[in-house]
Structure 1
Amino acid sequence: MALGHGGYDTRVAALRAQLAAQPPGEPVRLAKRTSNLFRPRASTGSPGLDVSRFTHVLHVDPDARTADVEGMVTYEQLVDATLPHRLMPLVVPQLKTITLGGAVTGLGIESSSFRNGMPHESVLDMDVLTGNGDIVLARPDNEHRDLFFGFPNSYGTLGYALRLRIELEPVRPYVRLHHVRYNDPDTYFAALARACRERAADFVDGTIFGPHEMYLTLATFTGDAPQTSDYTWLDIYYKSIRTRTVDYLPVRDYLWRWDTDWFWCSRALGVQNRLARLLVGPRRLRSDVYWKVVAFERKHRLLARVEGTLGRPPRESVVQDIEVGVDQAAKFLHFFQREIPISPIWVCPIQQRDRRHWPLYELDPDTLYVNFGFWSTVPLAQGEPDGTRNRLIERTVTELGGRKSLYSESFYDEDTFWRLYNGPTYRGLKDSYDRERRLLDLYDKCVKAR
């Protein structure tokens, strides 16, 4: 059943013409009005390639449980197209405006990741516009399989996904949530590992409010619900975790339970007050609206100037997601709570779905990892340079054998970066698919922010 508009080939031809019109040697970038990246992006003055028309769900096949999707389709669009068929993507990242192409090239996780891995693991094939200017079909079993497996964690530096065919899985109308409180990190992470190993639920994640207040949320599909909660406007999902043991949500509301308040980051923007929420309305309580406010502040630094005028210390942005093996999770949490004054913390278990090798973000397929997400600012002590806490987190994660997502600022030196993210394989892919280096280098893009 076709759900999107036709004309994919026409859109591809128009994009080829744009690329051919670019001056030789000119760096190639996408012209994107929005981004879910939390790191600076250098301005080149170049208009970039306009991919804004690649926003169609081309086809949903309910029998094969697959979807053909253009790269700029958001997960909100995709979910709205698949749920009428009682299907969903195997992993739906937490924020509505994350695009499918962005999640595959830049990774993503959610509470189904302990059984389904990351979004790229459900990709069957994709059309990629490479730095060489070619559009190639990359599959795990054809001549471009090296690009297929090397594309995740390349962040658009090898090419851009124009179309992807992905697997889907069945859903039921509602999700039953069970929030279980723990007071001890060792017991907490042991319970998390056991729930994942025993498949005790369809979805597993957790929220840590303090050293002795941590919740494991076990969520399971169900065909009916005695009642459902609504966290799309006046009520706040993360606050309910502390007050409700059992909760029910429609499946769509479960998938977007974090988006209404950007997890808990809406509190920094003053919209957790009930009167403010009433005035703002549900249509503006969305992560993409909050992102525009944050982008404005980062550009103009109005709050930083006010705090400086009031004599308050400068603050460092600590916006990161990291993964460590579950056997190191309690140790990382002890470190974090000792050194980084941020709360709450999101935790999400993740395990590779199969034994295939994804070289630019290598995980042991036999290991259950725990993702820690923390997004706030911390005060800098007198004389401390910006980046102090982020560098400390990076060193600690490396010592614990973990990995860090590159969607936010990174501070690695070049040797360490390429050791962690497989420099030799990356350079081989670059030689094959971006010979003239028209796309940015991964280190330049993710660390130097060029």
Structure 2
Amino acid sequence: MSLVVAPREGRRHAAAVARLQASYAALPPGAPVRLAKTTTNLFRPRVEVGTGLDVSGLDGVLSVDPESRRAEVQGMCTYERLVAATLPHGLIPLVVPQLRTITLGGAVSGLGIESTSFRSGLPHESVLEMDVLTGGGTLVTCRPGDDLFDAFPSSYGSLGYATRLRIELEPIGTHVALRHVEFPDAGSLAAAVEEVVATRRWEGERVDGMDGVAFTPTQLRLTLARFGAEPGPVSDYTRTGVYWRSVQERETDLLTAADYVWRWDTDWFWCSRAFGLGHPVVRRLWPRRWRRSDVYQRLVALDRRVGLVDRLDARAGRPRRERVVQDVEVPVEALGEFLAWFDREVGMRPVWLCPLRLRTSRAWPTYPLEPGRTYVNVGFWGTVPVGPGAEDSPLNRAVETKVSELGGHKSLYSEAFYDRETFDGLYGGPELAEVKRRYDPDDRLTSLYDKVVHRR
């Protein structure tokens, strides 16, 4: 069904699309095509290519229909803006990635995952229709089953850019009740995940969201969320409290729906520790409006440009560090083996755990998880001292090898090191190339391999 978009919003959207297409037409013949964006949630460097496409005015919510539970959204709209429009109706998208400034188009062309992914899969699985500006400069409306639509997930802009998406929504209510269930090892946690996936319940109570944290090899916690909980006294982790610490310290909790959706963003999971926000004094002095993932991301980007941490380590005689920032999916039955290997070879804790299962029986060629199989996303973000050879990224390369060995997959938002043959085998290279030839015949868009491995 079509949603009713207010005439004013429709005109605004049409004008924004016209600007986008005009900026494409103004590019010199043969010039590479890229969005003119000032922000990013990617964790891999890229080469700047000069003038980009004008995406101004493509960052809004066009329509929310509470009755059909549908929304019409522009491609550059952030989840923060979308959730602000849907929560007054007690609704949210089926999957809301953890970071506020991830865009709808970015999540669908890249990868998004959250606590509802054990039942709702990935963000692109709840898209009903989208408009895509292709590498050939045409605007194509596509739906599930179309070649462009099916190849678009995990294509990271190598096939085009979404300008409009029609998506499904689901109820969340005003409050979310949490249970933090402790497990002594990865095997027992994996068994609990399989039970919740099969029954959508734990100890008789409905489970709407499920994710967890592995603090140590013998202290793992699975957080089970129930939407639509009764109102009551709530926790607020945007102030002195820290959400990830509460997972370790509490058995139950109650959050507003908004605070639940953005519970990880305030401290960028636990990565805000690098800026001292775990210290009570620093936390009090750090303005609340700056406790956001995009602020921390800009600080990290600044350090990468100036190399301050590397210079301080060198001056202090500390070994060179390798940045290990990855999200990987491993089959649930292989979780224990992967974490044991990870502790021996990488040694980074805590790590995030988020069960995932494709929502339907449809396979996606550019991110070929197996339908009907349960995976667990393992997220780890930090640096590890490795000494000489850190620039060759030995730990990241080892992670890639181990994940493939276990039948898993890894997201491409961060650095990748695969050779071309391996990469094409893992990420649907032949299928992607065929669709790219059709919609980008002059090869104006950077290929997926060049984007994520060569960082172009």
TM-score bracket for this pair, using the shorter chain length: over 0.9
Asked if the contact 1:176–1:246 (Cα under 8 Å) also holds between the matched residues in 2, the reply is yes
The answer to whether 1:225 aligns with 2:231 is yes
Work out which of the residue numbers 304, 308, 311 in structure 1 matches 2:310: 304
Report whether the alignment pairs 1:65 with 2:69. Answer: yes
**CA 1:10–1:303: 2 relative to 1, 3 Å:** same
Q: 1:296 to 1:196 in 2, by over 3 A?
A: same
Q: Quick one: distance in 2 between partners of 1:444 and 1:311?
A: 35
1:408 Cα offset (Å): 0.1
**How far apart in 1 are the matches of 2:355 and 2:305?**
34
Q: State how far apart, in whole Å, the 2-side matches of 1:384 and 1:137 are.
A: 45
What amino acid does structure 2 have at the position aligned with 1:12?
A: V
Which of 286, 293, 298 is equivalent to 1:280?
Answer: 286
- Verify the 8 A CA contact 1:175 1:220 in the aligned structure 2: yes
Percent identity, please.
53
Secondary structure of the equivalent of 2:105? helix
Q: Which residue identity does 2:17 align to in structure 1?
A: V
Cα deviation for residue 384 of structure 1 reads 5.4
In structure 2, give the amino acid aligned to 1:211: P
Determine whether 1:196 maps to 2:200: no
**1:163 matched to which residue of 2?**
164
1:121-200 correspondence to structure 2 within 5 Å = 121-140=125-144, 145-200=146-201
Cα distance in 2 between the residues matched to 1:349 and 1:383? 34
Q: CA deviation at 1:153?
A: 0.5
1:107 is matched with which residue: 101, 108, 111? 111
The question of whether the paired residues in 2 share the 8 Å contact of 1:233 and 1:285 is answered with: no
Which residue of 1 is the match for residue 341 of structure 2? 335
Mapping for residues 239-258 of structure 1, pairs under 5 Å: 239-258=245-264
SS at match of 2:392: coil
Secondary structure at 1:83 match in 2: helix
- The answer to whether the Cα contact below 8 Å between 1:196 and 1:204 also exists between their aligned partners in 2 is no
Deviation string 1:75-130 (CA, Å, 9 cap, x unpaired) is: 00000000111111000000000000000000110000000000000000001000
Instruction: Tell me how far 1:231 sits from its aligned partner.
Output: 0.5
Q: Is 1:380–1:386's contact at 8 Å kept on the other side of the alignment?
A: no
Aligned to 2:84: 80
The residue type paired with residue 199 of structure 2 is E
Report how many aligned residue pairs link the two structures: 446
1:293 pairs, out of 274, 291, 299, with: 299
Using the alignment, how far apart are the partners of 2:229 and 2:110 within structure 1?
34
80-89 or 377-386: which moved more? 377-386
**How far apart are residue 386 of structure 1 and its match?**
3.0
When the two structures are superposed, what TM-score results if normalisation uses the length of structure 1? 0.97
In 1, distance between residues paired with 2:70 and 2:391?
A: 49
| Aligned equivalent of 1:411, options 417, 420, 424 | 417
- Bigger mean CA deviation after superposition, 177-186 or 312-321: 177-186
Which AA in structure 2 matches 1:370?
V
Q: CA separation in 2, counterparts of 1:57 and 1:382?
A: 49
Residues 152-176 of structure 1: CA distance to partner in whole angstroms, max 9, x if unpaired? 0000010000010000011211111
Whole-angstrom distance in 2 between the partners of 1:196 and 1:72: 32
State the partner residue of 2:28.
Answer: 23
1-structure distance, mates of 2:220, 2:17: 49
- Indicate the larger mover: 351-360 or 225-234: 225-234
C-alpha distance in structure 2 between counterparts of 1:202 and 1:427, whole Å = 38
User: Larger deviation: 192-201 or 73-82?
Assistant: 192-201
Moved more, 185-194 or 339-348: 185-194
Please give the residue correspondences for 1:293-442 in structure 2 after superposition, counting only pairs within 5 Å: 293-383=299-389, 385-442=391-448
> Paired residue for 1:216, among 198, 204, 222?
222
Offset at 1:151?
0.2
State the Cα distance separating 1:382 from its structure 2 match. Answer: 4.0
CA offsets 1:409-440 (integer angstroms, 9 cap, x no match): 00101110001111110110111011111000
Rounded Cα–Cα distance in structure 1 between residues aligned with 2:185 and 2:103: 37
Deviation for aligned residue 1:15: 1.4
Please tell me whether residue 32 in structure 1 is matched to residue 37 in structure 2: yes
RMSD: 1.2
**Whole-angstrom distance in 1 between the partners of 2:118 and 2:363:** 17
CA contact (8 A) 1:233 1:281 kept: no
Shift of 1:233: 2.1
Q: Which amino acid aligns with 1:390?
A: N
Partner of 1:12: 17
Larger mean Cα displacement after TM superposition, 132-141 or 434-443: 132-141
What TM-score, normalized to structure 2? 0.96
Map of 1:265 onto structure 2: 271
1:323: how far off?
0.3
Offset at residue 383 of structure 1 (A): 4.8
Q: 1:81 to 1:305 in 2, by over 3 A?
A: same
8 A contact 1:32–1:52 mirrored in 2: no
Q: Does 1:119 align with 2:120?
A: no
In 2, are the aligned partners of 1:117 and 1:353 still within 8 Å (CA)? yes
Separation in structure 1 between the aligned mates of residue 454 and residue 195 of structure 2, nearest angstrom: 40
| SS in structure 2 of the partner of residue 272 of structure 1 | coil
Deviations 1:239-291 (A, max 9, x none): 01111100000011000000000000000111221221211121110001001
Q: Once the 2 structures are TM-superposed, how far is the Cα of residue 2 of structure 1 from its aligned partner?
A: 5.5
In structure 2, give the amino acid aligned to 1:317: R
- Rounded Cα–Cα distance in structure 2 between residues aligned with 1:413 and 1:383: 19
State the one-letter code of the partner of 1:92. V
3-state SS of the aligned residue for 2:84?
helix
